[in-house]
A and B are shown apart, each in its own frame.
Chain A
Amino acid sequence: MVTSVTSFSRTGLSDWLIQRITSVILLAYFVFVAYQLGASVDYTSWKDLFDQTWVKVFTLLAALSLAAHSWIGLWSVFTDYLTERLLGPVGNVLRLLCQLGASLALVVYVIWVVVIVWS
């Protein structure tokens, strides 16, 4: 078994399952948003839509899903290409820097969504 300290859930099965569940949530959310945009949208109807609690919860769920899904995907990319095996010792530094940058960005995005939707 390969030890990993930076993967989302530490186990391959959980990461795999989370990525699939979050992709279903994201698909549902994007279909929902596309359907709303397909109808005639103006400021009032859009605000009324997002004033409903279930839409806020759904949006927060989609944001959290996007963060988890992105982290698992980006973690796979970073651990494929930014490794000591491919780049030497600098690979480890680059990978950790990219992981730090990506995790910070995702946390900021989730907080930003919360501020926009719940304020």
Chain B
Amino acid sequence: MLQVSLYRYNPETDDAPYMQDFSVDTEGRDLMVLDVLELIKAEHDGSVTYRRSCREGVCGSDGLNINGKNGLACISPLSESVKNNKLVIRPLPGLPVIRDLVVDMSLFYAQYEKVQPYLQNATPAPAIERLQSPEERAQLDGLYECILCACCSTSCPSFWWNPDRFIGPAGLLQAYRFLADSRDTATEERLAKLDDPFSVFRCHGIQNCVNVCPKGLNPTKAIGHIRGMLLSRAT
């Protein structure tokens, strides 16, 4: 029997959060962590609350702290997550808990909104589409794949302490995605908004974000590129 410890908190009935233990029969299968949560909800306690949707690592809904490391429950197999037959599941750290494993992502999305994550081009739109060479398109690889699960930003201490000022690795990865886009003409305006002591430069390069990204992306490298662009345009 797998021993599972779940973070529980219902603000309507609980004074404080607590950990609840469950013994789950996995029948020896190497299930995903999400499957274990589904088993608990179906067979033990129907009030256990979490987000989920696609169950295949695409939607980014079920970002959780699994045995101390952020990840997507749906693509985290027990064989890689369980230690000493124990599975401890908590909500993503640093964000307010709404209930059980569901966090309020408002601060995360507010930072994402700050980087204006959409193409800006002041030139007249062509008849069909704005073309890119294969080399220009390749600049976006490793950037556009982000699914905004928030595993990276909520594993970053700089984001924990200043979630209202530091954009965080997810937002900065998207900031660089548009800075690197050959079709975007708002580069100067984008960079001007980032040159303060918090938005980008609160990153100290500890690479927690790289360590946890379920899509294998590298926000620290993108942040380095942003620093390089700011340095290049400085006098």
Contacts and interface: CB of A to CB of B under 8 A. Distances in A.
Interface in A1-20: 1-4, 7, 10-13, 15-17
A12 B231 contact: no
Interface stretch (B117-125, B179-187, B199-207): B199-207
Interface of A: 1-4, 7, 10-13, 15-17, 75-76, 79-81, 83, 85-86
Interface stretch (B7-15, B33-41, B64-72, B159-167): B159-167
Contact of A1 (B157, B164, B199, B231): B199
A23 to B, nearest CB: 13
B198 interface: yes
B46 interface: no
10 contacts: A1-B199, A2-B197, A4-B196, A4-B197, A12-B198, A13-B195, A15-B197, A75-B197, A79-B197, A85-B164
Contacts of B201: 12-13, 15-16
Contacts of B194: 1, 12
Given A81-B161, A85-B164, A86-B161, A4 B198 contact: yes
Contacts of B200: 12
A76 to B, nearest CB: 7
